[in-house]
Amino acid sequence: MAHEHKLEIFRGLVKFKSNITKIWGVLIFLTLVTAVEVVLGIIKPESLTGTSFLGMRLLNWIFIILTLVKAYYIAWDFMHLRDEKSALRRAIVWTPIFLVAYLVLILLLEADYVYEVYKNGFVTWNF
């Protein structure tokens, strides 16, 4: 069991006095991020929905990045990966990231191909 806690978040920008205050700080941060997501989702600013990057709207990229940020703080502070040995941390984090990135890439490319076939091929499905 890791009894010593690393109490710095945001790369040392914020340092907490105890593990308990750190948890509340992380909670506030996660709540803020979720609030930003919900507000953006309700307003849907024209500037973000209008422009797209790599085939996806900018707004959706923002949602996905904010989700990864939340996932990072849940894993690092709630699941206390921050206090584990870096070898354990890397084994846990990079294995799924590599496999999932590969799977998502393959499936989304394939899905886009099927979409093109439905759209331009001699297939009628929308009637």
Partner 1 sequence: MDSTVSTNSEESVWGGGNQPLNASYGKLMMWFFIVSDALTFSGFLASYGFSRFKFIETWPIADEVFTHVPFFHGNYPMIYVAFMTFVLIMSSVTMVLAVDAGHKMKKNAVIWYMFLTIIGGAIFVGSQAWEWATFIKGDYGAIETKGGRILQFVNADTGERAAIADFAKTIPSERNELERNEGVWFMSEPTLPTYSVNEVVEGFKADSNILIRTETINEKGEKTLLTREESLTKLGNATQVVEGANLIHNEYGSRLFADFFFFITGFHGFHVFSGVIINIIIFFNVILGTYEKRGHYEMVEKVGLYWHFVDLVWVFVFTFFYLV
Interacting residues toward partner 1 by CB under 8 A: 1-3, 19-20, 23-24, 27, 30-31, 34-35, 37-38, 41-42, 44, 49, 57, 60, 63-64, 66-67, 70-71, 74-75, 77-80, 84-88, 91-92, 95-96, 99-100, 103-104, 107-108, 110-112, 114-115, 118-119, 124-127
Query: Cα dihedral angle (126, 119, 62, 106), rounded to 10 degrees?
Result: 110
In the bound complex, what is the minimum distance in angstroms from residue 10's beta carbon to partner 1?
18
The residue among 15 and 44 lying less far from partner 1, judged by its C-beta, is 44
* Phi-psi category of residue 16: left, alpha or beta, with phi > 0 → left and psi -120 to 50 → alpha: beta
Query: Please, which residue, 14 or 35, has the CB nearer to partner 1?
Result: 35
CB of 15 within 8 A of CB of 7? yes
Tell me the C-alpha distance between 90 and 112, whole Å: 32
> Residue 13 or residue 125: which is nearer to partner 1 going by CB?
125
Least separation in angstroms between residue 25's CB and partner 1 is 11
For residue 59, the tally of other CB atoms under 10 A from its CB is 19
